[in-house]
A and B are shown apart, each in its own frame.
Chain A
Amino acid sequence: NAGVTQTPKFQVLKTGQSMTLQCAQDMNHEYMSWYRQDPGMGLRLIHYSVGAGITDQGEVPNGYNVSRSTTEDFPLRLLSAAPSQTSVYFCASSYEVGRSEQFFGPGTRLTVL
């Protein structure tokens, strides 16, 4: 198993541009989530999904959209990038809804100029 994979590894955007961060897992996990990591802030939940077709907002959802059309994929869309969205983004999955153990991808480092 490849586990949780994320692409791209690095990305630079200009303010106002849009893009999609990709996340995929091959472990047949029900639960997937997106976090952002900023210095001194720990990890903050952006959006999460408890299964295909079901998504919900986390702690900091503004400026981001998600969809879950398949069990494997959970892309994160930035609609109009802002400098405040400069961060490292992590995708995570858990094999069962309600289980607390989450497995993280390697991250995407995003810079918005």
Chain B
Amino acid sequence: GQQLNQSPQSMFIQEGEDVSMNCTSSSIFNTWLWYKQEPGEGPVLLIALYKAGELTSNGRLTAQFGITRKDSFLNISASIPSDVGIYFCAGQARFGNEKLTFGTGTRLTIIP
């Protein structure tokens, strides 16, 4: 099945640093979503993007829907310890088709 390429696979950063991660696909998506998963929990929706070029923020998180519709980016500014977790991108290929394709995740570790 199709999967999204997510990079980097893991990140080790110091508290206070900014974080950038991205997700790419060989095919076009009409919706991009970003989820965060903490140990022992299910993924939690962070940001949803619906339009090419769209830039959306949720607190210190900012995500962008790539202009080619084949990629998306997530930035976290001024990281804090509670940002630790695995970040997943997900894409929906067609409006009205509820199936999501998920990336393989970026594991974020913060060094105090």
What residues of chain B lie closer than 8 Å to A107, measured between beta carbons? Answer: 40-42
B29: nearest residue on chain A (CB-CB)?
A100
Q: Is the CB of B102 within 8 A of A43?
A: yes
Q: State how many residues of chain B have any CB contact under 8 Å with chain A.
A: 27
Q: State how many residues of chain A have any CB contact under 8 Å with chain B.
A: 29
CB under 8 Å from chain A, chain B span 37-56: 40-45, 48
B2: nearest residue on chain A (CB-CB)?
A59
Q: Is the CB of B104 within 8 A of A104?
A: no
A92: nearest residue on chain B (CB-CB)?
B42
Bound CA–CA A100/B96 (angstroms): 8
Q: Is the CB of B105 within 8 A of A42?
A: yes
Q: Is the CB of A102 within 8 A of B100?
A: yes
Q: Is the CB of B48 within 8 A of A100?
A: yes
Residues of chain B whose beta carbon lies under 8 Å from any beta carbon of chain A: 1, 3-4, 6, 31, 33, 35, 40-45, 48, 88, 90, 92, 95-100, 102-105
Report 20 cross-chain contacts, Cβ distance below 8 Å, ordered by A residue: A33-B98, A41-B3, A44-B1, A45-B99, A48-B98, A50-B98, A90-B42, A92-B42, A94-B98, A97-B96, A98-B95, A100-B90, A100-B92, A100-B98, A102-B45, A102-B98, A103-B45, A106-B42, A107-B41, A107-B42
